[in-house]
Structure 1
């Protein structure tokens, strides 16, 4: 009788090409995504060594970080951004890699286009030179971010050197309360275990609260595995997964799809398999969440108050806690509820899918944004943008005074024109609230799309349950 295995162990073992004691494993990579920021040096490395891309058909490229979200038909204004996007065009043409460029109907944020095109499938290994590659783990695969030298490894060999991480199971059971969505679940977990609580682990999310989530919600959860230090996160595939994949552009079709589904059904953790760590939470304890500090672990339930220095569990955190609140202009022990905000950003690879936009539209329909707030809604892809317009969500946003932009990473990170001005407060559906992440000296509160929409309407931090 073979030893029971976790889903992670099954996937990892199926992709190990070579194993040597004391060395990293050589892992085969099924799907490689690249964008304009972390790929240029990798291509230069190939040129210097005079070698081709080993298997161009397994790599897909898209510009997303440096692209403007207005007037994408015009040349990019920022010189560095323009140069990076042009370099991606040149490199992909030279090495024979598929590029979904600006204006292409499949362009969008790299972690949003993979799933929606059916390029992301269960049982795969997936990498990209971007930490939020863990998003793809929602389909029951091993997906993680890599550095530029590793991008070169994958381009040249379709393999990567990796030490095997430990395994962690995070189980959430029970029923979610009113106004609580996937983003709240993951912010809640990170607030419990801290921004480094899963360092060295690959996390499997399980339990009926996870099972009951849509694919788009599962992607939100896996996306932020990185924010607790994990190497990645995954969820075993099920009927929800198969229904999502069916009929997508590059997914298997017809009889081949049915054959694949039979194989995918076996992708689950065996009864009796052990993990290096197991955490369990009750869905009923999760409320709409918001961060108050400068790392994603500094989160509270929206109706709670910011802790005081004395309440910190770890004494070593005191100095960084004080520095963080000083940067944010907040007082220990105070409440965030009612705090005025200047910007609301709805977008990023965490929350820019059609379900996110629908949720926002359902809350703001017939309402107007507060006068003191500027609201940007940035769809995660051209397909999401097109669907939103088809459903008339653009009209709902327009009437509410929200600006619907074109796809890109936008204000998630200060790498393009969409920056939050210094000292201003932004409620953001993105994944990171580091100092200056959304622009120099900008201040970020992370929250769900529903909570962001509530703040847009009221002009301040609001418990969305009062509006639902």
Structure 2
């Protein structure tokens, strides 16, 4: 009888290519390679220099997202407000995809969006698969029971040329979220609380598997948010075993079969879970019942506190963060004036995220001192949000409704937080200058971000909950 194995081990072992050199790292087959305009040009240049072709263009999918403008798209399908540098970057991806026969979701494509939003939407992110991308937040796709992780530009070139990747087997970490969290919290709050406990290096060298009552209760959007933030704890990837919630999300998407053929796929996917007696290298348990809305205060996601919790005392470990963030040790963030609110990104740019923000904003106004951007994660999210009238809610409240893209998360496309300004952002990183030179960032959930936009300062979002608000 075989020994009990984890979900990670099952997927890893199915994708390892057998070879004689047992002392070397494993050679892992890649089922899906996602690429975008920022980390692919050098990889394609390396292929050209060696006269190589892309090994499996049918297992490669490209999109434009990081540098793309979120202002209006003209009638010809080209982008306005694009600098020559950005246009060269986008055009380089277009030419590389044409040369190698890779499917590209570019300007005017109704399927385009942030790389980690479109994969699941199009039914390309599947349980049991291996997925890589030249983007650290590839861990998002682990919400479907996939092994998904970011890779460097050199590795992007290697996968393009061979469809395999040399990797050392990571260790495993089980994180159990027990109990039901309060209604004013979300998957983003679960993630920030976990990272505040683990630290930004606490998951280094590990793949995290999320389990527990709170995880099972999450929608797929919430699960993607949680897995997305795994990298912020230093983990290689994050994973959640697929279940009926997963299958219902995937039903009818992309080229997946329907009827009995889809049900047969689900039967195979149900086996993708850790055996009851499987052992992990490390385990932690988090009680969610007393969870409060979380915000970061410093320059890393682990520097996070509950909205009403006093900030930590000043010491040598956080002195530089306090100097940059300009908050007062020992006092809560409550009442801190803010300048910008951003709702979007591969962390919180999905429909349920936008719905949560709209539920708070409906019938209210963004404070006159605040600029608020709402950026859908994909063209599909934008269409559905507009079909629900969410764009009208945002505009009526005084927020800017934009075109899909990474936008202010990484500030590569002109969507910037100004020097010295303080932003409440639903994105994933708050290091110095992440959202623009000299910018300061408080990471939060869409619910908290929308509440802060109305107040013009950091507030507890609980009082802003509408009866119909749904936590995501």
Answer yes or no: same fold by TM over 0.5.
yes
Cα contact 2:63–2:105 (8 A) shared by 1: yes
1:406 pairs, out of 403, 406, 424, with 403
| Matched residue, 2:418 | 421
Q: How does 1:49-60 map to 2 (within 5 A)?
A: 49-60=50-61
Cα distance, 1:37 vs structure 2: 0.4
| Matched residue, 1:314 | none
1:251 pairs, out of 251, 256, 263, with 256
Distance 1:361 1:75 in 2: 28
2:319 pairs, out of 309, 322, 336, with 322
What is the total number of aligned residue pairs between the two structures? 460
Q: How does 1:4-403 map to 2 (within 5 A)?
A: 4-19=4-19, 20-73=21-74, 74-309=79-314, 318-403=315-400
Which is further off, 16-25 or 132-141? 16-25
Cα contact 1:115–1:136 (8 A) shared by 2: yes
Distance 2:102 2:403 in 1: 24
Q: What SS class does the counterpart of residue 300 from structure 2 fall into? A: coil
Give the TM-score, by structure 2 length: 0.96
**Cα RMSD after superposing both structures:** 1.0
Give the TM-score, by structure 1 length: 0.97
Cα distance, 1:18 vs structure 2: 3.0
Distance 2:82 2:97 in 1: 22
| Matched residue, 2:470 | none
Cα distance, 1:75 vs structure 2: 4.2
Cα distance, 1:442 vs structure 2: 0.2
Cα contact 1:291–1:298 (8 A) shared by 2: yes
Q: What SS class does the counterpart of residue 411 from structure 2 fall into? A: coil
Which is further off, 253-262 or 154-163? 253-262
Q: Deviations over 1:379-403 (max 9, x none)?
A: 0000000001101111111111111
Q: Deviations over 1:287-325 (max 9, x none)?
A: 10000000000000000011103xxxxxxxx43511111
| Matched residue, 1:3 | 3
Distance 2:342 2:255 in 1: 31
Identify unmatched segments of 5+ residues in structure 1. 310-317
Distance 1:44 1:462 in 2: 49
Distance 1:284 1:139 in 2: 25
| Matched residue, 1:434 | 431
Cα distance, 1:126 vs structure 2: 0.2
Cα contact 1:370–1:459 (8 A) shared by 2: yes
Distance 1:178 1:261 in 2: 31
